[in-house]
Amino acid sequence: MPKRTDLKTILIIGSGPIVIGQACEFDYSGTQAVKALKEEGYRVVLINSNPATIMTDPELADATYIEPINSKYIEKIIRKEKPEAILPTMGGQTALNAAMDLYEKGILDKYNVELIGAKVESIRKAESRELFHNAMTKIGLNVSNGRFVKNFEDAKSFAETSGFPVIIRPSFTLGGTGGGIAFNVEEFETLVNKGLDASPVREVLVEESLIGWKEYELEVMRDVNDNFVVICTIENFDPMGVHTGDSITVAPSQTLSDRQYQELRDAAKKIISEIGVETGGSNIQFAVNPDNGKIIVIEMNPRVSRSSALASKATGFPIAKIAAKLAVGYTLDEIPNDITKTTPSCFEPVIDYVVVKIPRWDFDKFRSSNPDNDILGVQMKSVGEVMSFGRNFKEAFQKAIRSLETGRAGLGTDGKDIYQYDYISRLNTEEKNLLKAKTLIKLQTQRYDNIFHLRYAFLLGATTEELYKVTKIDKWFLNQIKDIIEIETELRSFSF
Amino acid sequence: MSKGKLVLENGVTFEGTLFGYKGGASGEVVFNTSLTGYQEILTDPSYSGQIIIMTYPLIGNYGVNETDIESEKIQAAGFVVGNYEDEWSNFEGSHSLDNYLKKYRIPGIFGIDTRALTKMIRSEGSMRGIISDDSVSDKNLLEKVLKTPSMSGLDLVKKVTTQDSYILKSKKPKYRIAVYDYGIKKNILREFLKFNTELKVFRADTDHSEVLDYKPHGIFLSNGPGDPGAVTYAIENIKNLIPAKIPIFGICLGHQLIALALEGKTYKLKFGHRGGNHPVKNLDKNKIEITAQNHGFAVDENSLNSETVKITHTNLYDNTNEGLRHRNFPVMSVQYHPESSPGPNDSKYLFDEFMNIVQK
């Protein structure tokens, strides 16, 4: 299908200030979208409250408004610029929420403005956990047991039957803000109340915990002809329980057989179709039981996301650019592949390398009275991330650690370990066992520096099996870390 | 683990480390771009006589299991990977890939720059090669490589087809499907058994009259290895089956044989299509399917009589032919693998379409 000619001016909503959970990846996607739509001859109007972005550079959009992203200001812009359509899928959750607000206030109808990229109905289905759960059940996919509650009493009655731990997820918030995992009643009460406050609709989902399950993300695209492609599959190094934004992630998936992977692909295809995203990209997250492969759908973002920026860079497939072109009516087979120029964008990238993302935290800047501030959970805490490529996992992993610019050269051997190699080798058996036990206890809690403690544990004689029990990090990844230590040990044997 | 090497017919040697069976193997060296599915690929009879390179550099991660087999043994001649991962992890896994290759006496080699090797094949075309330990000189190995038969003109079907015919039944068998086994993948049989079918699997050179005696409601022509032009007995049988007006469905080699039976031509592709990400356009529906592919030969579309043959599918990478339908007889076929395994399940509808014709 050729591009739409009934549209002249398109308004793109940016993502606003850089906050934890929403950083420059949306500037990257928004900039791509502005360029893509201008390339097609549309007049592009942009709103973003954050002038410290590339997308607001004067030469990019035809008209740029540095104004607060809310319905009041967007309405003023609509009145003045008279766009026929709004593209709300490039500016993260902020833009989607703003678009929904415009719809609910009747502003879209009043000015006869259409949402492109994702329709109101699709956004609703994907974002409201209740509608999403119903939609998944309808297409025969599993979702975790949970209940939507609007007060603590209802939450408590759920926890009484489900037992702990329980995950608390506030509705309509970004980066899991206000969410958490409660392991006892006291934590539960605090988190539920905090979650209700954080949710714009005072609603939280209390949910059975899938802590320890494997976590996967699929970046997918669909066009108006129902063509569907998976751009990238991402496997989390950290199991369920840590926010994806705080997880070390790896592309492509490493530990699934083809049949197991195709099950996720089939599910993703059904999901995007049921939610009704007709023209663009989505991010779909799954939990997979490591013991039997049972699949649970966690969530779907009907927009360009943090992970799609990662997937674009990992594969060379420009998701935001293509999503913008799909939004104006093109089909995947009509858009040339950015790399080959001669083949269409309707394909699934394959790569001959491994990509590793490691989040960067800055807890020093957020030191509070609470020493456990650096415990990772369902609320994202990282302030950025690095990504690296390698011909194997170990290479990519080591490069990523070095790229974090935390002063570490890689996993150990840089003289900056808390427990130096020489120190550990001088310990007697009893001391080693004691420190090993201490390290295993430490690893039970997800903290940002756990990868280094995995190293200490291996050096102290812990087995892959022992570390798996404690961390639930897939044994494949644990063995990769063990391999790095073995190479290190071998290299040390040559020193003098 | 001992040192080994891969010597190509262009005289280039790649050095690496042997795993799996400690022995030599020669064959046509081809690359597959699938990220997953090495067990299905190794056991696919269409890879008979070939040394497979995986372009994805980490192989072995999830081990091998009891389920993901496409035939009773490993069919490929050898296996070339970047990094072999011996410490696998998967809830369904049962053995390491190393053990699996040993069991079926197939050599593997890792530590090879598979990217450089793949680029070489992509620019120079598929070529013959040999895997060996490093005790033999490159010169000797090159001589052996040059004695390896080339794929063109090679009938490998006889090597992989079933010796005796056999019958498989679904729970409520209602429709008899005659299956010509040119090297069939098990998942094709599994797909047919999802319908109410009885399958009688025939040896590749079974005379058409014997197949017709079975009184089938439908006839299936399977995938398989080698040059379609060399399987002359199959082409003759198909020529005789088409006029019987029994619905015929062909996949991969089956597709090529149908084209040849319809007086079309096939040719050898420079480096073939092997992977799980090929976009194919269904010309009727104007829709794209992401397909699993494994073929070194292709049907020359221009050689087909457009008055009797309709082109139904096209590969969007290189516009080669991916499917056809006869205008007067119930004959349909595709070049790619709708049964996937490994690969996406986008094209399973073809089994529905064929069974709909059968059930009419």
pLDDT over 90 (residue B244): yes
A409-492 maps to which CATH number?
Answer: 1.10.1030.10
Q: Which residues contact A101 (CB under 8 A, 6 or more apart)?
A: A70, A71
Closest CA to A280 of A216, A329, A207: A329
- Helix residue ranges, H only, A44-184: 71-81, 92-104, 107-110, 120-127, 129-138, 152-162
Q: Which of B70, B85, B88 to probe the A interface (max A CBs under 10 A)?
A: B85
List Cα–Cα distances, B331 to B215, B247, B297, in angstroms: 17, 6, 20
Residues of CATH 3.40.50.20 domain(s) within chain A?
9-116
Cα first-last separation, chain A: 69
Q: What is the pLDDT of residues A189-237, one digit of tens each?
A: 999 999 999 888 899 989 888 889 999 999 999 999 999 999 999 999 9
Ordered alpha helix ranges (H), A105-234:
107-110, 120-127, 129-138, 152-162, 185-198
On the question of pLDDT at A162 being above 70, the answer is yes
- CA-based nearest distance B56→chain A, Å: 4
SS3 at position A233: strand
C-alpha–C-alpha distance, residues B161 and B205, integer Å: 9
Give A240-278 pLDDT, tens digit per residue.
989 889 999 999 999 999 999 999 999 999 999 999 998
Answer yes or no: is pLDDT of A49 > 80.
Answer: yes
Tell me the DSSP string of A278-335.
-SEEEEEEEEE-TTT--EEEEEEESS--HHHHHHHHHHS--HHHHHHHHHTT--GGGS
The confidence score (pLDDT) of residue A375 equals: 87
Interface check for B55 against chain A (CB to CB < 8 A): the answer is yes
**CA–CA distance, A152 with A223 (Å, rounded to integer):** 42
| Interface size between A and B, measured as CB pairs under 8 A | 127
Query: What pLDDT, on the 0 to 100 scale, is given for residue A342?
Result: 85
Residue A343, pLDDT above cutoff 90 = no
Please classify residue A357 by burial: count the beta carbons closer than 10 Å to its beta carbon, then call 0-12 exposed, 13-18 middle and 19+ buried: buried
Element (H, E) at B72: none
DSSP letters, B105-174, are T-EEEES--HHHHHHHHHHH--EEEEEEETTS-HHHHHHHHHHSPPSTT---HHHHS-SS-EEEE-SS--
Instruction: Name the 3-class secondary structure at B23.
Output: coil
Please tell me the predicted confidence (pLDDT) of residue A176.
67
Tracing tokens 């415009």 back to the chain, one arrives at: A102
Q: Does domain A145-209 have CATH number 3.30.70.1520?
A: no
Distance CA A404, CA A384 (A): 9
- Looking at residue A479, what is its pLDDT? 98
Q: Enumerate the residues of chain A whose CB falls inside 8 A of the CB of residue B82.
A: 352, 391-392
Instruction: In chain A, list all ranges with CATH 3.30.470.20.
Output: 214-359
For chain A, percent of residues with pLDDT exceeding 90: 75
Give the pLDDT score at A379. 83
DSSP 3-state percent helix, strand, coil across chain A (nearest 5):
40, 20, 40
Q: What's this model's pTM, rounded to 2 decimal places?
A: 0.94
Is CATH 1.10.3720.10 the right assignment for the domain spanning A214-359?
A: no
pLDDT score at A369: 63
Minimum mean pLDDT among A358-362, A396-400, B320-324: which range? A358-362
The residue assigned the tokens 């809310």 is A70
Q: Which residue of B has its CA nearest to A294?
A: B91
The partner residue sitting opposite A352, judged by closest CB among B37, B55, B85, is: B55
The model's confidence at residue A367, banded by pLDDT at 50, 70 and 90, is low
Q: Are A366 and A330 in contact (CB under 8 A)?
A: no
Range list for CATH 1.10.1030.10 in chain A: 409-492
* Residue B259 CB contacts under 8 Å (≥ 6 apart), including other chains: B228, B265, B266, B299, B303, B304, B309, B321, B324, B333
Percent of chain B with pLDDT over 90: 98
pLDDT at A377: 82
- Say what the pLDDT of residue A368 is: 65
Distance CA B331, CA B304 (A): 14
pLDDT of residue A22 exceeding 80: no
CB of B110 within 8 Å of a chain A CB? The answer is no
Instruction: State which CATH number among 3.40.1800.10, 3.30.1490.190, 3.40.50.20, 3.40.190.10 fits the domain covering A9-116.
Output: 3.40.50.20
